Structure 1
Amino acid sequence: MSKLQLWFMHKFMSKKIIIIYFLLNNLLFSQGYKYPFTDGIPVENFIARREQIENTLSRNSALLLLSSDFYANSGFEVSNNPSPNLYYLTGLPQQRAALLLIPNGFNLGGEIIKEALFLKQQTSDDIIWNGYSMGAKDSEKILKIQKNLNIETLDSILNLVLRDKDTLFLDKLSVTKHFSNNGNHIECDIEIISKLKANHPKLIIKDNIPALTQMRYVKDNDEIRLIQKAVDISIEGHKALIKKAKPGMTEYQLQAEMEYQFMVLGAEKPAYSSIVGTGRNSCFLHYQNNRDSIKDGDMILFDCGAKYHGYCADLTRTIPANGKFSIEQKIIYNIVLEAMDSAFAQCKPGNKFSEIHNKAKEVITEKLLEQSIITNKEDVDNYFPHGTSHFFGLNVHEGHEELLKEGNVLTIEPGIYIPYGSSCDERWWNIGIRIEDNVLITKTGYINLSEKLPRKAEEIEEMMK
């Protein structure tokens, strides 16, 4: 509490009110913080990950991960998504924090510190407005990090640590995101880098951490368990939408059916903005208005996934609004399905990631030529303009390795989109179809994590009866 606050209380408040204030203040802090992910990743895993990263760093380097803050113009915090890299190494499920790893340690009051977590010290006002967040004592007990410090000491500690370092690995932040180390000033990553360079002109700052990226490509058993849970929740949401969909409804009503199931089954939130596009909107890859009405004869494409304990699912299905595929719709649907099966066949360790897309594209090219939808191979990009796969985990889109490994988790999602006015027979217009499943690479091949969600045309029609 500041001297000004104490003076104000002494000057204008009675002793009884002051006593009540302090009692309420103490009561707030006595309730304590409750960690939200009770069936999440064991703390020992996070400790092992930090040790693994520290072993890849040179003795004259340090690593700094920043969890960015998001603020609306009103000053209210509008997002509390944890930073994926920081969460991956600590289990910290909140914003406004920093992790510093120092392989050879630094002396802080006679103690050699190799890892320090910096958190904002929570005030009673913070609790009243936002509820409890993890503090230094909580993180020491729950996350087992060696040293837990106030975020306001970060600048001074950094200057102390970096005096004898030649390299700092800094988690790259988007310039649209902000990180704050006190309650008043918000700095973007460019400002942070500029300040570090000014204070340490010989310091080499690297804005990527290759070892951490490589670690996140391969999921351990606990990560796979949480991803499977996110997928299972997403499957139930998709099934609810399929059973509910009919002409006369709106895209946003179907979105509500989907996301209601997500939340009922324990998801924190959707993993990304849900896409529900009907008719011509099914041809827009990342359509998000979700406001149109569903008409008889439309195709409905929905790309939606749940997030569970920080981990994402990413599924897509496309269905006929009236429960029955037209001849043209079924032809395109089965082409996408065949392309999907061709992509699945490439999912095994040692195969090239790029071949997943190449094989799917070969099928779609051949079949669109057969239907005279295209007249030369180069035109396929007009109707299949995106890749067939991407890795995912804590982020819905993550980088990838060229050679697949056991433990990679990725999507298989070919699609064909024929918008109104395309240079083909108009009977194909406004048919947009994407089918997306989630795959785990195993020792000998793959497991389709979302196999319980029907994808054959006949299965879809049966479910919609």
Structure 2
Amino acid sequence: MLQQLLAKLPISDFKQHRANFFEQMPNNSIALFKAGSEVTRSNDTEFGFCQEKNFFYLTGFNEPEALLVMIKDEQGKESTVLFSLEKDELHEIWHGRRIGQEKAKQVYGFDSAYELSEVDAFLPDYINGKAQLFFAFAHHDFASQVFSWIAQVKATFRTGGKAPSILKDSAEIIDELRLIKSDNEIAIIRQANIISGKAHQRAMQKTAVGKFEYQIEAEILHEFARSGARYAAYGTIVAGGDNANILHYTDNGDVLNDNELLLIDAGGELGGYAADITRTFPVNGKFSEEQKALYQLVLDAKNLAVNAIKPGMSFAKLNELTNEFLTKGLLDLGILSGDLSELISEKVVKKYFIHGLGHWLGLDVHDVGSYHANSEREQHRPFEPGMVMTIEPGIYIPLNDTCVDEKWRGMGVRIEDNIVVTTQGFENLTQDAPDTIAEIEALMAK
């Protein structure tokens, strides 16, 4: 089955990404993109390598310490150069194969490829005479290297050297390109959701009173890997009981208790693209009346927001809808008290719904792209076809909240789906992770 599915982008897509970036570059300019580096975990061991996402978006090349150079000359002719680690037989025996320069050109479609050791000899010449230079301002270590090359060019001004007079942050272009996904990108995220949905199903089936959170985490990671998503897209959250009220809880070390809820926030990574799904369910397989009431409120809020998604909608509008709905629901449950209109205008619900409604999703879990937020942090960017986002309302009532009846304390509920905006409305990619009370209880009873 997996062989028939799109597990990674074809090279033609990466070439198209470069072409799209070139379109935004003026003539007589140059852009530099650095690959990621291996990160030491302890002594002489490293964490699993994760490629720098902008570099990956433009290349599909998955080795560390490389550099992509994109050049557009005065006549508009485009060329790409890759600097990468050299072929080294001894290194490859110990640490694994390297692609090398010839194969980089043949497979990935670069015009030229050189060994990384040659980069300092080439870069000042590439930069010399260019009017504009693009690079990622946020990568401070790389910025110092860029300024070193610029300084070398400036040192030759008496013999005709001319450094770029305009430096631009490449993020201004690439963030916008990455925000709108192609059909192939959406297909991969869809498949990552299918795999992740199966992992959430497995977690529900394997959960039992007395097990530890990390044992359920192991079930999730196993399902990711056996289905083709070898890595989690982020640190898996398996939060039983009051731990669910810690938003980024990743200790996953506590025992699962009877009559408590379990919140799992977990998504696999496939072909570099992330899924990001949250489900909440009872450890013992049956919702209590209080758990059922709070859960159904959050589920209805999630469905309300998802069903309103279409081109032209915005997170700001969705937040307004969702906050009003949750405020009324919490008032009906007795968790909030007072006048409904005043509670809404004062945004009292944010005491219990303490994070945003959603975020962009793609190569990064919290993907790049402007939200057009104002000074009030309201996100007014209109949705467009090809945008992929999460919708994740939640209600969190910690054990120490003495403002509410004891029966509600210690519950945290979040439900999160991944949504793509279409020309007609939306597609919910998260179809394989059960979310209704009936579905969850039936699955856990098997």
Q: Same fold (TM over 0.5)?
A: yes
Runs of 4+ in 1 over 6 A off after TM superposition: none
Please list, as runs of the form range in 1=range in 2, the aligned pairs for 1:92-171 lying within 5 A after superposition.
92-104=61-73, 114-171=79-136
1:146-183 Cα distance to aligned partner (Å, 9 max, x none): 111111222222211111123211134555xxxxxxxx
Residues 268 and 309 in structure 1, CA contact (< 8 A), matched pair in contact too? no
Counterpart residue number, 1:62 = 30
What is the rounded CA distance, in whole Å, between the counterparts of 2:287 and 2:352 in structure 1?
A: 20
Secondary structure in 1 matching 2:291 = helix
Residues 340 and 413 in structure 1, CA contact (< 8 A), matched pair in contact too? yes
Residues 20 and 177 in structure 2, CA contact (< 8 A), matched pair in contact too? no
Counterpart residue identity of residue 234, structure 1: S
What is the TM-score normalised by the length of structure 1?
Answer: 0.84
Verify: 1:192 aligned to 2:172, yes or no: no
* Cα displacement (A) at 1:63: 0.7
Q: Which moved more, 1:68-77 or 1:137-146?
A: 68-77
Residues 383 and 421 in structure 2, CA contact (< 8 A), matched pair in contact too? yes
Which has the bigger relative contact order, CA under 8 A and spacing at least 6? 2
* Cα displacement (A) at 1:40: 2.5
Verify: 1:406 aligned to 2:385, yes or no: yes
What is the TM-score normalised by the length of structure 2?
Answer: 0.88
Please list, as runs of the form range in 1=range in 2, the aligned pairs for 1:75-94 lying within 5 A after superposition.
75-94=44-63
Please list, as runs of the form range in 1=range in 2, the aligned pairs for 1:124-273 lying within 5 A after superposition.
124-174=89-139, 188-200=141-153, 203=164, 204-273=166-235
Counterpart residue identity of residue 432, structure 2: K
Secondary structure in 2 matching 1:164 = coil
Counterpart residue number, 1:43 = 11
* Cα displacement (A) at 1:266: 0.9
Please list, as runs of the form range in 1=range in 2, the aligned pairs for 1:270-349 lying within 5 A after superposition.
270-349=232-311
What is the rounded CA distance, in whole Å, between the counterparts of 1:67 and 1:410 in structure 2?
A: 26
1:292-345 Cα distance to aligned partner (Å, 9 max, x none): 000001100000000111111010100001111111111110110111112113
Counterpart residue identity of residue 160, structure 1: D
Residues 254 and 276 in structure 1, CA contact (< 8 A), matched pair in contact too? yes
- The 1:119/1:196 distance shift into structure 2, 3 A limit, reads same
Residues 357 and 389 in structure 1, CA contact (< 8 A), matched pair in contact too? no
Q: Which moved more, 1:313-322 or 1:446-455?
A: 446-455
Report % sequence identity: 32
Counterpart residue number, 1:424 = 404
1:365-390 Cα distance to aligned partner (Å, 9 max, x none): 12112223123443311211111111
Rg larger in structure: 1
Counterpart residue number, 1:28 = none
Counterpart residue identity of residue 363, structure 1: F
Counterpart residue identity of residue 390, structure 1: H
What is the rounded CA distance, in whole Å, between the counterparts of 2:138 and 2:119 in structure 1?
A: 17
Number of paired residues? 412
Counterpart residue identity of residue 312, structure 2: G
Residues 246 and 321 in structure 1, CA contact (< 8 A), matched pair in contact too? yes
What is the rounded CA distance, in whole Å, between the counterparts of 1:294 and 1:38 in structure 2?
A: 37
* Cα displacement (A) at 1:39: 4.9
Residues 304 and 314 in structure 1, CA contact (< 8 A), matched pair in contact too? yes
What is the rounded CA distance, in whole Å, between the counterparts of 1:40 and 1:387 in structure 2?
A: 30
Residues 421 and 427 in structure 2, CA contact (< 8 A), matched pair in contact too? yes
1:24-52 Cα distance to aligned partner (Å, 9 max, x none): xxxxxxxxxxxxx9852222222222122
- The 1:281/1:39 distance shift into structure 2, 3 A limit, reads closer
Gaps of 5+ in 2: 155-162, 338-342, 372-380
What is the rounded CA distance, in whole Å, between the counterparts of 2:273 and 2:203 in structure 1?
A: 22
Give the one of 349, 353, 356 matched to 1:384. Answer: 353
* Cα displacement (A) at 1:438: 0.9
Secondary structure in 2 matching 1:45 = helix
Gaps of 5+ in 1: 1-36, 107-111, 176-187
What is the rounded CA distance, in whole Å, between the counterparts of 1:41 and 1:189 in structure 2?
A: 27
Counterpart residue number, 1:464 = 444
Residues 105 and 114 in structure 1, CA contact (< 8 A), matched pair in contact too? no
Residues 66 and 82 in structure 2, CA contact (< 8 A), matched pair in contact too? yes
- The 1:208/1:426 distance shift into structure 2, 3 A limit, reads farther
What is the rounded CA distance, in whole Å, between the counterparts of 1:463 and 1:131 in structure 2?
A: 43
* Cα displacement (A) at 1:113: 7.2
* Cα displacement (A) at 1:196: 4.0
- The 1:121/1:77 distance shift into structure 2, 3 A limit, reads farther
Residues 198 and 432 in structure 2, CA contact (< 8 A), matched pair in contact too? no
